[in-house]
Amino acid sequence: MPYPVGTYRADWERYPVLIRQFHPDLNRGITLTQIPPAAEVFLVWQCEVGHVFVATPDEQRNRPGGRRRRSVWCPICAQQANPPRIRPTLPTPPPPRATRASRRRRDDPSTRLPGDAFWSAVAPGPASAAEADLRQRLGLRFDFDLSFNAVAVARPFFDRLEVWPDIVLPDLRVAIEYDTVGRHGLEHVGSKEESDRRKDRALRAARWEVIRIRCGKLLPIGPYDLHASAVTERLMDRLTTTLAEVRGELIVRSYLRR
């Protein structure tokens, strides 16, 4: 529960930029003076440019560090001021469909190479019914091999040389993620969003591409991300168009079920 109005006014006077970024109308009418500066709660902020993002008071107070640029108070402005260098890759034809023998070889870590898709026994299952629905609709629309759940990477990701996308399309070397903030609004925000970015960089370093379907107030973090409120046929049409942008229309069309 928020404290009385004005309780923490003196504490926040040292952060005039955050006072301008905080809007009670975006936070159920709660004012910044009602919130302790060290509170572990997610709040909605809006920078002077107009970017809306979610962060805790502690994350916002520590965001600038020793830098003086105004853009560092907003994670989106900071990224745009120093965008990651991504080496463009040319569309490549899909690799041949894996046989049972090749799957057994790829399940052997000693023969696995960065970029290989495989089935991992430690990968988590679908996190939501919407993710399972998305997988089913993909299987009905495309003749993709959806039996894999992991991709080998060159550098450890949380102590493993593998990542676990929600949906793995080895035929196109594309990983699909379905992102929501979760029941308590804590998923894919703050430090967890940075983990998503690391995961995407690891996949792209292995010559894969990532398409994230971002729901609710989650903003795109990649060049091919889509915003949606639910899994619908309209979303599937948009996803089909995006796959064609990533790997070429003729290649993607060849996997459509007749």
Q: What's the pLDDT tens digit per position in 158-202? A: 989 999 999 999 999 999 999 998 877 778 888 889 999 999 999
Instruction: Give the residue from 220, 227, 231 showing the smallest Cα distance to 76.
Output: 220
Domain range annotation of the chain: 9-81, 100-253
Residue 100 has pLDDT above 70, yes or no: no
Return the CATH class of domain 100-253.
Answer: alpha beta
- pTM score of the predicted model: 0.59
Residue 199 burial (10 A CB sphere; 0-12, 13-18, 19+) = buried
Q: Quick one: pLDDT band at residue 113, thresholds 50, 70, 90?
A: very high
Q: In 39-135, where do the E strands start and end?
A: 43-46, 52-55, 117-118
Q: Quick one: pLDDT band at residue 240, thresholds 50, 70, 90?
A: very high
Residue 28 has pLDDT above 80, yes or no: yes
